[in-house]
Structure 1
Amino acid sequence: MSHQVRMLPLGDSAIRMEVGKTISKETNSLIRAYLYLLKETKMVGINEWVPSYTAITFFYDPFLISYEKAAEWLYELSAHLQKVKLPPPVIYDIPTYYGGESGPDLKRVAEINNLSPEEVVSIHSSESYLIYMIGFTPGFPYLGGMSEKIAAPRLSKPRGKVAEGSVGIAGEQTGIYSLESPGGWNIIGRTPIKLFDQHREHPFLVESGNYIRFVPVENEEYEKIKIEVDRRVYQLTTRVMEGTHELSSGFKQ
């Protein structure tokens, strides 16, 4: 894990720590290692941190700690990165109904790439996508690893409302709308799974550093799962990646 970090002041009570210059699994692992150390080693005055693709932003209380002291402490943490053993990532299996009213842009994505809608679904659901970061709206996962064969530019005119659970493509990125919101991504399907629920003990369903795999389901199965999710009895399938083995487990919605 050889690397260099760069500290930059952000306003009068935040620090932006640049961990890497490119979006990569290695940079993501470094960010996760820092987050692990931050949880294990509390620092008075550091109130919150927000990870992104290549950096972490730290918010501090200037009445409790100076910029210089906060930056010095963050630099010191890097000396312990080699000792961090991150837990194996989890794959979340996300049931997804593609096309129809749930995926109004599926045909557009197919036409752009000279594919059939079925081929787009097959390609999109064949990968396990690394969750690089959460942002835009609470619980919205930015995913890496999508095939360029199904890449498509954002809509020229964003929609005023995109339904919660909508699965979209923008350029070579894919993601899931965690809440109803405006958006310009190409919507190819929808999942009944709630990625954000303020009434759950853990409001955010997924975490950066883990993976998402989209599992195609028919409309009837989608509606059945939606009812179970609403009743809070649905068991989300997860798989812990342990070397070349995957251990099945469950997560109740």
Structure 2
Amino acid sequence: MNIVNINENCMSVVFEERIDPEINAQVIQLKSAIQNSAISGILELVISYNTLVIYFDDTVTDHETLSESLQSLTLSSTDQQQTTTYVIPVCYEAPFNLDLDEMASLHNKTTEEIIQIHTSKPYLIYMLGFMPGFPFLGGLDESIATPRKASPRKEIPAGSVGIANAQTGIYPLASPGGWNIIGKTPLKLFDPKRDPEVYYEAGDYIKFKRISKEEYDNIEQAVNNGTYEIETEVQ
């Protein structure tokens, strides 16, 4: 791993320069090791594909001291994060499937085939970013990988599920964006009034579950009433 100083109270630990589940697992393992250690002055740890960004209190520690502490850490199996698979219900029907027909035509597949492929397996959450609770998911079947739209939309509704290149993701909030939208979940993936505000974290998994428009409406009502409990599978 390569330690890089960013500014007076921030540094990053960079692993291999590639997107790979094993590399991401090492980043998460390092985060857990730091949290389980006696290293002082840590304010925040932020995970990306192959990097852990460390924010620290520069009145408590400094780059040199923190770097030495990181180098002395020994990663072990006890530092591995318990992962959870979150089952996200998605309606792939109109009016939510804005780009599904176009994607099917592009890949010479039916819309049913696109949906079947998209819901066929869990996806690793490499990191959260772009907006609160936006999961960058790896493992998309290359047969439905689709370039970003040439002209981004001015607003994509919250809960929209999309594909951009070799990734799939979910918009927790309404936002401009260029991802290809194939469905929508009725869940509130980011809710500042909820504890936790975001259900999942990097290292967890998301599995998409197809639902009908009627089921979407019922779940949305349960979410608004505060009675919906997200389905999970602990690994």
Partners of 1:200 and 1:63 in 2: how far apart? 33
Please name the residue that 2:59 is paired with. 63
Please name the residue that 1:34 is paired with. 30
Alignment counterpart, residue 174 of structure 2, candidates 158, 180, 183: 180
Partners of 1:38 and 1:198 in 2: how far apart? 27
Query: Which runs of structure 1 show a deviation greater than 3 angstroms over 4 or more consecutive aligned residues?
Result: none
Are the aligned partners of 2:123 and 2:137 in contact in 1 as well (CA < 8 Å)? yes
Partners of 1:49 and 1:210 in 2: how far apart? 16
Q: Are 2:157 and 1:163 aligned?
A: yes
Q: Identical aligned pairs, as a percentage?
A: 38
Q: Are 2:50 and 1:54 aligned?
A: yes
Output the amino acid matched with 1:75: Q
Q: Are 2:198 and 1:215 aligned?
A: no
Segments of structure 1 that go 5 or more residues without pairing to the other structure are: 242-253
Segments of structure 2 that go 5 or more residues without pairing to the other structure are: none
Query: What displacement does 1:75 show?
Result: 1.6
Query: What displacement does 1:43 show?
Result: 2.8
TM value normalised by structure 2: 0.95
Structure ranking higher on relative contact order (CA contacts 8 Å, 6+ apart):
2
Partners of 1:235 and 1:8 in 2: how far apart? 41
Output the amino acid matched with 2:39: M
The CA RMSD over aligned residues, in Å, is 1.3
Are the aligned partners of 1:109 and 1:151 in contact in 2 as well (CA < 8 Å)? no
For 1:100-121, what per-residue CA distance to the aligned partner results, in whole angstroms no more than 9, with x for missing partners? 1211011111111111111100
Query: What displacement does 1:63 show?
Result: 2.7
Query: What displacement does 1:99 show?
Result: 3.5
Map 1:89-128 to 2 at 5 A.
89-128=83-122
Output the amino acid matched with 1:47: L
For 1:24-53, what per-residue CA distance to the aligned partner results, in whole angstroms no more than 9, with x for missing partners? 121121112112122222433221111100
Output the amino acid matched with 1:151: A
Query: What displacement does 1:83 show?
Result: 4.4
Please name the residue that 1:196 is paired with. 190
Are the aligned partners of 1:194 and 1:205 in contact in 2 as well (CA < 8 Å)? no
Output the amino acid matched with 1:154: R
Partners of 2:15 and 2:190 in 1: how far apart? 27
3-state DSSP class of the match of 1:127?
Answer: coil
Alignment counterpart, residue 12 of structure 2, candidates 12, 16, 32: 16
CA gap 1:83/1:124 in 2 versus in 1, 3 angstroms? closer
Query: What displacement does 1:126 show?
Result: 0.6
TM value normalised by structure 1: 0.89
Query: What displacement does 1:141 show?
Result: 0.5
For 1:173-202, what per-residue CA distance to the aligned partner results, in whole angstroms no more than 9, with x for missing partners? 000001111111000000011111111121
